[in-house]
A and B are shown apart, each in its own frame.
Chain A
Amino acid sequence: MAYFKRVLIANRGEIARRIIKTCKKLGIETVAVYSDADKEAPFVKEADQAVNIGPPQAKDSYLRVDKIIQAAKETESDAIHPGYGFLSENPAFAKKCRDEQITFIGPSSEVIELMGDKIQARKKMEEAGVPIVPGWNGKLESVEHAVSVATELGYPLMLKASAGGGGIGMELVNDEAGLRKVFPSVAKKAESFFGNSTLFLEKWIEDPRHIEVQVVCDHHGNAVHLYERECSIQRRNQKIVEEAPSPSLTEDLRQKLCETAIQGARNIQYKNVGTMEFIFDGDQNFYFLEMNTRLQVEHPVTEEITGLDLVELQLKIAANEVLDLTQEDIKIKGHAIEKRLYAEDPVTFFPSPGKLEKLYFPSENVRLDFAVEEGNLVTPFYDPMIGKIITFGNDRKEAIAKMNDVLLKSEVQGIKTNLPLLKEIVHNEQFKAGKYTTKFIENHLQVKN
């Protein structure tokens, strides 16, 4: 029996298509919701039904809880998959689904709220024995309070919004004058972005690596990890390239990291697939950064190395089924790399919407999770990521060689994309050696158009 009869997807683009694919495989009907800007989008055509939920801007459509719930009721959908971004980590949305007796494919609204509050998340993780970035777990009451806490911790520090995340609402401070200067503006930004001006302080870790662990937990006490993803190659605090497993971990460290992640997830009674993000310093010490209580953009690399379907696992867990997987069953079968194709200038990173006159990628030896097809319009309203290119090999070298081959044969015309940057990364010696940090893009690349 299928886990659900009909699933509504409260998202768009490549992730909506990705969810439809697994639902089709499992015999579950799908309902797409779409804004006026997405009328012609592939995900709308691929779903069994589609409901228009309003004007292009996300605040008028994809972020409208009322319209999405109404669409779910009208189509008699028994579950909602939130994808990533938009309402996926909105506790009020998860609660509304529960109140309306529609299954939210994700953790409880209480857990989303807990992990969305970075101060609370730090406390919970510390309680579970998970190392957290050294810092202050309390609320900073004023600039004076912040200065006294900072003097005790020692500079440099990161001033962060407790309700923030994903690289938004944080500022590096090197001294007291710097802290005094940015405190009011960070608080104001936190208030306007997240509706909460609470700030906290963390030690600044220079030149770090970002490595995250995929956890999977059901409602019956089963919790496993699907190993880690290395996500250090970023631009503007956003990931461009991810790979699994990380080229920089020893087997012992991998095991320690993954077990720590499970420990943290168990402590909050997490139920769904989730990602524990860690930051590594130059001495291989790792610290908990935040938890993403949803499916991650870069989940395909984990699927490639484990052979598991993460969307299927989400559906299964949400349907209250028992996870019939033990940690021993889950093996790393090879190496996978994902590159994100962004509709943006490869040097300035400024977005480039427009018509995709040409979009060609070879179909062999590659997995393509794309939002768009040739001839589609890339609209200015949403995230610039238009697709993900994923290659798998028996080892890292093979995965890189396949990626190189795919990128060389690819062609995009009509809009600017970061394809030249992606090509350059594959050829970079530092990348090939697997020795890179979050400073990689600014330190090593000079893209030529």
Chain B
Amino acid sequence: MSIKKEISSPVPGVFYRRPSPEEDLYCNEGDTVKAGDTIGLVEVMKNFYEIKAEDDGVVETFNVKTDELVDAGQAVAILTLK
């Protein structure tokens, strides 16, 4: 059985899936990521916080869309561990 783990944002703010509007998505659902890879960005008070995967795995699903608000501790994506 595969183990699923939440990737959550430690800060509240606005969630983005790209580094800037013109750039590509950090990753797609179904992509394999390594621990330390950035999967999203949270804008908080004009600063940006990178959300990183803490483990190697496959990004199962994103719970939050670009431009949506997140609370501190809220899961933004689900990772299936390798």
| A344, A380, A381 — most chain B CB neighbours (10 Å) | A380
**What string of 1s and 0s marks CB contacts (under 8 Å) between B41-82 and chain A?**
001111101000000000000000001010000000000000
Q: A56-B69, A57-B14, A380-B11 are in contact. Are A351 and B21 (CB under 8 A)?
A: no
Query: What are 19 contact pairs spanning A and B, CB under 8 A?
Result: A343-B45, A344-B45, A350-B47, A350-B49, A351-B46, A351-B47, A353-B13, A353-B44, A380-B11, A380-B12, A380-B14, A380-B45, A381-B14, A381-B45, A382-B46, A383-B46, A384-B45, A384-B46, A384-B47
**In the complex, residue of chain A having the shortest beta-carbon distance to the beta carbon of B13:** A380
Considering only CB atoms and an 8 Å cut-off, how many residues of chain B contact the other chain?
15
Q: Chain A contact residues (Cβ within 8 angstroms of B): what range?
A: 10 to 19
- CB <8 Å contact, B14 and A351: no
- Which A residues are CB-close (under 8 A) to B45? 343-344, 351, 353, 380-384
A81 to chain B, nearest CB (A): 22
- CB <8 Å contact, A192 and B21: yes
In the bound assembly, the distance between CA atoms of A192 and B43 in angstroms comes to 16
Q: What does DSSP make chain A's interface, helix, strand, loop or mixed? A: loop
B39 to chain A, nearest CB (A): 19
Interface residues of A (CB under 8 A from B): 56-57, 188, 192, 343-344, 350-351, 353, 380-384
Interface residues of B (CB under 8 A from A): 11-14, 20-22, 43-47, 49, 67, 69
In the bound assembly, the distance between CA atoms of A383 and B46 in angstroms comes to 6
In the bound assembly, the distance between CA atoms of A153 and B45 in angstroms comes to 38
In the bound assembly, the distance between CA atoms of A444 and B25 in angstroms comes to 40
- Which A residues are CB-close (under 8 A) to B11? 351, 353, 380
In the bound assembly, the distance between CA atoms of A381 and B43 in angstroms comes to 8
B10 to chain A, nearest CB (A): 10
B50 to chain A, nearest CB (A): 12
**In the complex, residue of chain B having the shortest beta-carbon distance to the beta carbon of A343:** B45
B70 to chain A, nearest CB (A): 9
A385 to chain B, nearest CB (A): 9
B75 to chain A, nearest CB (A): 17
- Which B residues are CB-close (under 8 A) to A56? 69
